Amino acid sequence: MTALGGRIKGLRAERELQQRQLAEKADLTPSMVSQIESGRLTPSLHTLGRIAAALGVPIGALFDGQPAGSIVVTRRKDYPVVSFDGSSERWAVLGAGLFQGKIRAVVSTLGPRERGVTTEKVIIKPGQMKLFYVIDGKVALHYNGDRHLLEAGDSALLDGGTPHGWENLGTKRAQALWVILG
């Protein structure tokens, strides 16, 4: 079971819901809920939104849940992974990136010659800054109509409320770290 699957199962149990009941509330199949809870299926962000709504919690609560004043070490193999409908982009949510129930830091992976999700799928307040750091590959960062070429080790600080996205320009996968500041 993954940390994400275990958290969903725990929240479901707290609400005394069976998998079938959660599936009905989230308009999913019971099989899909079972596969997500066991870690055999990585849900899309859209699916996570439906599960969170059915449980009556914000999406961040599916990843959070550690007591204050504690340290949480998360191994790479245990990072919750988020995917997006219609995109090859995958986010590994960094455990230390959770703050006040919101995702704060992710390692995003894009396949060769692919584009990442649009900012409409990831809501952020205007004026809230994001740090974009290229871990691996050659990418284009699109920001407010401009295109900036970056390579491994390059970074950009940008207003997350302005339209932006990224694409992998290479023939191998690219990885970038996104951190929401403030």
Q: What is the pLDDT of residues 106-117, one digit of tens each?
A: 889 999 999 988
Question: Is pTM, for the whole model, over 0.85?
Answer: no
Residue 36 clears pLDDT 80, i.e. is over it: yes
As a whole number, the mean pLDDT across the chain is: 83
The verdict on 102 and 175 lying in the same domain is yes
- Tell me the C-alpha distance between 48 and 16, whole Å: 19
Q: What is the CATH number of the domain that holds 15?
A: 1.10.260.40
User: Per the structure, how many domains does the chain have?
Assistant: 2
Specify the pLDDT at position 117: 81
Residue 133 backbone dihedrals phi, psi, to 5 degrees: -130, 125
96 pLDDT exceeds 70? no
Co-location of 117 and 159 in the same domain: yes
- 170 and 134, same domain (yes or no): yes
Give every CB contact of residue 137 below 8 A, 6+ residues apart in sequence. Answer: 110, 151, 152, 168, 169, 170, 172, 173, 174, 175
* Secondary element (H or E) of residue 175: strand 174-180
CATH number at residue 151: 2.60.120.10
Phi, psi of 151 (to 5 degrees): -125, 175
Within 41-173, strands assigned E span: 81-83, 90-93, 98-99, 102-103, 105-110, 129-136, 138-143, 146-151, 155-159, 164-168
The answer to whether the CB of 160 falls within 8 A of the CB of 129 is yes
Identify whether 71 is part of a domain: no
In a domain, 70, yes or no: no
Domain of 19, in residue numbers: 3-62
Same domain, 127 and 165: yes
**Domain identity same for 83 and 53:** no
Residues 47 and 87 in one domain: no
Q: How many CA atoms lie within 13 A of 155 on its CB side?
A: 10
Shared domain for 151 and 88, answered yes or no, is yes
Residue 161 pLDDT more than 70?
A: yes
